[in-house]
Amino acid sequence: MKIISRILGTGSYIPDNEIPNSAFLDNKFYDSDGNLFPQKNEEIIQKFLDITGIKSRRYTSANYVASHLGFFAAQKALKSSDIDPESLDYIIVAHNFGDVKYDNRKSDFVPSLAARIKANLGIKNPKCIAYDLPFGCPGWLQGIIFADYLIRSGDAKRILVIGTETLSRVCDPHDRDSMIYSDGSGATILEALETDKSIGILSHAMRSDTINHSKLLWMGSSYDPNYFGDELFLKMNGNALYKYALRYVPVVVKEALDKSELQLSDVSKLLIHQANEKMDNAILEGVCKLYGVKEIPWHIMPMTIHEFGNSSVATVPTLLDLIFKGELNGHVFESGNILVFASVGAGMNINSVVYRVP
């Protein structure tokens, strides 16, 4: 018998405020040198759609911040797991910018978002340890990896892992990349289970490349040379990031599968960070190439990027929750299914987890 980590419950919060691509028709887009793009916005937006697949994204209400979104997702995860919140041993919250208010766009990290969410949940247990995890877009999945370590060590029995972000508050309206970003939150509860079966989290793999890749995502001033605010906005070297992801994400996915002694043909679902449709498709093609698979199994890779955009740490747990509850285009999880999670983001960091549904 051994202790394994299984998913007990999930939850997500997808804001109601839908922002279609047409909302950007009147924006003035500049390049990194401060020059207006000569193309009309209709052409810029169409090219953006062709590359990313994003038709719309969700922005949260002005009165909410990331910790509110995380709290809403946590409530749903607790309801789906039907447990006493006081029984949680840890609350791990992945994010990158803290709470950023609509009318004061500065990062607020104190107290931690995990502490705020624990307080909002009304959890009194002082042995429920709440802490934050900034790790770029792979933050939620890194939280799952840490939670698995804590559970298998015997230190914890139940852990709530949340990914929450309001990227709409940190994107430059004069940067084309601003159309990528969205708001949202996803939450997952892991529970310890003593069993002799090969179920739950089977393996994981990670890598972190900083020497040549740490500045592919950064915070910088607006591209509009006439913008006089002092805010810092999320910036991205999209082309270099794309090449990095295609080179290394398939390798990390295969490494995680190798540790579980599984093949790509065993995988029922690949839940990958929803950053860019073209990039995610190319990553799956890259994984197939490593296995010598010529016919791409597109059916194993559900996507939400088209409707919800890129909500960073929230994309993968939102995917998980929607499928867990049968709310995503007929995708379902069945006992024995092999799920592979993968994400890539600022750092640059990559991680992957293999999970067998109990």
- What is the pLDDT, as a whole number, of residue 345? 97
Tell the CATH superfamily of the 200-356 domain: Thiolase/Chalcone synthase (3.40.47.10)
**Dihedrals phi, psi of 204, to nearest 5 degrees:** -150, 165
DSSP code per residue over 232-283: -EEEE-HHHHHHHHHHHHHHHHHHHHHHTT--GGGEEEEEE--S-HHHHHHH
Give yes or no for a contact between 165 and 96, defined as CB atoms under 8 angstroms apart.
yes
**Dihedrals phi, psi of 45, to nearest 5 degrees:** -70, -40
pLDDT band of residue 101 (cuts 50, 70, 90) is very high
- What is the pLDDT, as a whole number, of residue 54? 98
Tokens 């919140």 -> residue: 85
- What is the pLDDT, as a whole number, of residue 284? 98
Mean pLDDT of 252-278: 97
- What is the pLDDT, as a whole number, of residue 230? 86
HSE toward the beta carbon, residue 26, CA cutoff 13 A:
1
CA angle 239, 242, 246 (to 5 degrees): 145
- Of 119-128, 185-194, 204-213, 225-234, minimum mean pLDDT range: 225-234
Cβ atoms within 10 Å of 230's Cβ, excluding its own:
8
CATH 3.40.718.10 is the classification of domain 2-195: no
Residue 198 has pLDDT above 90, yes or no: yes
Domain boundaries, the chain: 2-195, 200-356
Residue 316 has pLDDT above 90, yes or no: yes
Residues for the chain: how many in total? Answer: 358
- Distance from CA of residue 147 to its chain's centroid? 16
pLDDT tens by residue, 82-100: 999 999 999 999 999 999 9
Helix, strand, coil shares of the chain as percentages rounded to 5? 35, 30, 35
pTM: 0.96
Nearest alpha carbon to residue 316 among 209, 185, 179? 185
